[in-house]
Amino acid sequence: MLIADRSPDAAGASVLDPFYRAAGNEVEVFTAAARRGTPVLLKGPTGCGKTRFVETMAHRLGRELITVAGHEDMTSADLVGRFLLKGGETVWVDGPLTRAVRAGAICYLDEIVEARQDTTVVIHPLADHRRELPLDRLGTILHAAPGFQLVISYNPGYQSILKNLKESTRQRFVAITLDFPGADAETEIVAHEAGIDTATARSLVGLGRAIRNLDGSPLGEVSSTRMLILAGSLVAAGLDLRTAVQSAVVEVLSDDDEVVRALGELVDAVL
Ligand code: ADP
């Protein structure tokens, strides 16, 4: 299903829906979960479309989206809030999770690296039937407004928040797995997002897939849809394809001279 609608439709899509090319039944699963306020675990490699998917769903559901970019040292205070000194006074400032709980928004915890224990502790009572957020420092408990939904994304390739979630909490999440799109869909996405012709997009996608399929690859990351779009946008800005690929894909994937040279040879063979 292609969602790039400019007019209202039966599902509530409105003016300037984000462009999202669905891969499977993720839209239906998310919509059903959202109706119930069920938390969602979104799994998939970096740059495969997880954020765009959540943006699209928030837009279609008419919900505010509050995104928190995960980082290793994220503490519960980063999510919940803290006291700050303002003009000589100590004032409480809500964190993004607290704002989402109050506003009935979707709170998207983007690429949560192995969450620290104190982070998962605040998630537990929000994810289960209680739907509440204890604000220990204020001595209160907030009940999530209708519409509040927790969405956590991670890359199962190198991290798993799952092992830190209590089994009973984990069982309350709905999991949606996204992966890089099929060749035709990815070509359409790269052409659309980068503003390039289909033939050039197809070449980029062919290359991206060849890199992903490398046997015994020494690369920590693979060529993502995001990288291919970036290469395409350089072409749209007037750069030749080979140079664009070198700058946006090859050099980004590795610092190792040998690997960069081998990737360059692959690019020459595929493009
Ligand atoms: P992630 O959150 O998984 O790291 P993003 O959602 O940021 O990845 O995807 C990177 C870019 O790829 C997006 O900005 C968008 O341009 C494009 N993209 C990826 N998948 C899709 C898709 N299914 N439909 C439309 N655009 C997509």
Atom 23 of ligand 1: nearest residue by CA position: 21
Atom 21 of ligand 1: nearest residue by CA position: 49
pLDDT in tens, the chain (271 residues): 444 443 344 344 456 789 999 999 999 999 999 999 999 999 999 999 999 999 999 999 999 999 999 887 888 899 999 999 999 999 999 999 999 999 999 999 998 766 667 777 888 899 988 999 999 999 999 999 999 999 999 888 766 666 667 777 778 899 999 999 999 999 999 999 999 999 999 999 999 999 999 877 778 788 999 999 999 999 999 999 999 999 999 999 999 999 999 999 999 999 8
Q: How far is the CA of 253 from the centre of ligand 1 (A)?
A: 18
How many angstroms separate the CA atoms of 3 and 260, rounded?
Answer: 37
Atom 5 of ligand 1: nearest residue by CA position: 49
Residue 159, pLDDT score: 65
Q: Which residues line ligand 1 (CB under 6 A)?
A: 19-21, 44, 46-52, 181, 189, 193, 225-226, 229
- The DSSP string of 182-250 is PHHHHHHHHHHHHT--HHHHHHHHHHHHHHHT-TT---SS---HHHHHHHHHHHHTT--HHHHHIIIII
Atom of ligand 1 minimally distant from the CA of 193: 16
Residue 35, pLDDT score: 95
pTM of the full structure: 0.90
Atom 27 of ligand 1: nearest residue by CA position: 49
